[in-house]
A = this chain, B = another copy of it.
Amino acid sequence: MPEHVDIEILDRGAAMAVRLPDGARRRFHAVWLRDNAWDEATRAPGNGQRRITLADIPADTRIAAARIEAGQVQVTFEPENRTIAYDAAWLAAHAYDRPERRSPGWTAPEIETWDAGLGASIPVADFQAVRRDRAALGGWLRGVRRYGFGKLTGGPVESEALLGVAALFGYVRETNYGRHFEVRTEVNPTNLAYTGLGLQAHTDNPYRDPVPTLQILYCLENSAEGGENMVVDGFRAAERLRAESPEGFDLLTRHCARFEYAGEAGVCLRSRRPMIELAPDGELVAIRFNNRSAAAITDVPYEHMAAYYAAYRRFGEIIDDTAMEVTFKLAPGECFIVDNTRVLHARKGYSGAGSRWLQGCYADKDGLLSTLAAIESQPRKAA
Contacts and interface: CB of A to CB of B under 8 A. Distances in A.
B50 A313 contact: no
A377 B189 CA distance: 22
A255 B280 contact: yes
Interface in A191-241: 191-192, 200, 208-211, 213
B55 A316 contact: yes
Interface in A256-305: 256, 260-274, 277-281, 283, 291-294, 296-302, 305
A261 B98 CA distance: 26
Contact of A297 (B14, B32, B255, B268): B32
Interface in A55-108: 55, 59, 94-98, 100
A121 interface: no
Interface of A: 14-15, 27, 29, 31-32, 35-36, 44, 46-55, 59, 94-98, 100, 171-176, 188-192, 200, 208-211, 213, 253-256, 260-274, 277-281, 283, 291-294, 296-302, 305-306, 309, 312-313, 316-317, 320, 364-367, 369-371, 373-374, 377
Given A55-B313, A291-B54, A374 B268 contact: yes
Best-buried of A54, A200, A278, A377 by chain B (most CB within 10 Å): A54
B313 A54 contact: yes
Contacts of A264: 47
Contacts of A27: 302
A31 to B, nearest CB: 5
Nearest to A299: B281
A232 to B, nearest CB: 14
B374 A300 contact: no
